[in-house]
Amino acid sequence: MGIMESIGSEFKTRNFSIYGQWTGILAIILCVALGIANIFSFSLLIIFSIICLVCGLLLVFIEIPLLLRICPTSKVFDDFVRKFHSNYGRAGIYLAMAAVQWISIAVKASSLIAAAFILTLAGSFYGLAGLKGQEFMGSKTLGGAGVAQMIV
């Protein structure tokens, strides 16, 4: 089975945590790209772009569990990232990150609004999964459910 077929079968499960995880991957790309793009502004927006960049890098480890196994990270960082394994935990971190980016509008309207929107969308998907009582389901393509165990 190819990657596209695997992703397609995951989406057919109608589990909102899968939607949240793939939206989270989009959020990672946007946070890193927009964080770098806005860091060159000469205003307080620099602070929000640095925060956005750090959020994107943190989300890499939250959304791709395989990286916790292959990247040398500290035990404290690993324990922090593992706190966001549940749907509600992920919804909370995404919505907190989104709130910071929405606040950036007070300084200056910028492309960070796109990151705020996608972070809000991902947090909402995880929140819906929690409200519907759906079990957290990590994408096999991103290193969840079996792939990470094969590395060890």
- Residue spans per domain, the chain: 29-151
pLDDT tens across 86-106, in order?
899 999 999 999 999 999 999
Per-residue pLDDT, 142: 61
- How is 7-75 classified by DSSP, letter by letter? HHHHHTT--HHHHHHHHHHHHHHHHHHHHHHHTT-SSTHHHHHHHHHHHHHHHHHHH-THHHHHS---H
**pLDDT tens-digit profile of 39-53?**
888 888 999 999 999
Q: How far apart are CA 123 and CA 47, in angstroms?
A: 22
As a dihedral over the C-alpha atoms of residue 6, residue 145, residue 115, residue 81, rounded to 10 degrees, the angle is: -170
pTM of the model: 0.83
Q: Which two tokens stand for residue 80?
A: 């922090």
